[in-house]
Amino acid sequence: MEYAIILTFDAKTESTFNELVEKLAEAQPQNYMKEHSIPPHVTIAFFCTEHIEEVAQKLDANIALFPAGNVTWASLGAFVPKVLFAAPVLDEYLQNACITANRLVEDITEVGDEGHYLPNQWVPHTALVCRANQKELAKAFDIASRHFTPLSGTACHLVLARCNSYKEFKTWSLS
């Protein structure tokens, strides 16, 4: 089964992203993120395992390695043809979070999503539209480019979540 370790954000940042996702409903009325109640986030590790309890225990024992931190989204990007995202600056905070998360789980999980979430292969992103067709993606980008402005927020939670379909397994507050 596929799982992810994600960072989620303070209420103001989450609200800003949710407002943008609402505006994008014009481009993609069946917004995957909204329909599946997936919060704005940055995935820092993606893997496969049948032993999620072991992963949760490892994160419990090492949660101090994940401090709260500032994240700044500076631009929009796309994984053509299906995903529109807000692109955070890949700074030391995000890079360390990705490295730490992947190192913690590497000996007890299998790499997921062809390694796209491994350090030095990862493109950090906060998805705004997923599973779009080419026309929806073009329209979403047009709308987002009129409404997106760079923003900063605080990563204040680490979440271990099952993917497809999204379900939070455990959440930690970061300090």
The CATH number of the domain holding residue 141 is 3.90.1140.10
Domain limits at 133?
2-173
Is-contact 136 130, C-beta < 8 A? no
Q: How many domains does the chain have?
A: 1
Quick one: pLDDT at residue 133? 92
Quick one: pLDDT at residue 108? 97
Pairing status of strand 41-48 against strand 2-9:
antiparallel
What's the whole-model pTM score? 0.96
Q: In a structure prediction context, what are the per-residue pLDDT tens digits for the chain, which is 175 residues long?
A: 999 999 999 999 999 999 999 999 877 777 888 888 899 999 999 999 999 999 999 999 999 999 999 999 999 999 998 999 999 999 999 999 999 999 999 999 999 999 999 999 999 999 999 999 999 999 999 999 999 999 999 999 999 999 989 999 999 999 9
Quick one: pLDDT at residue 21? 93
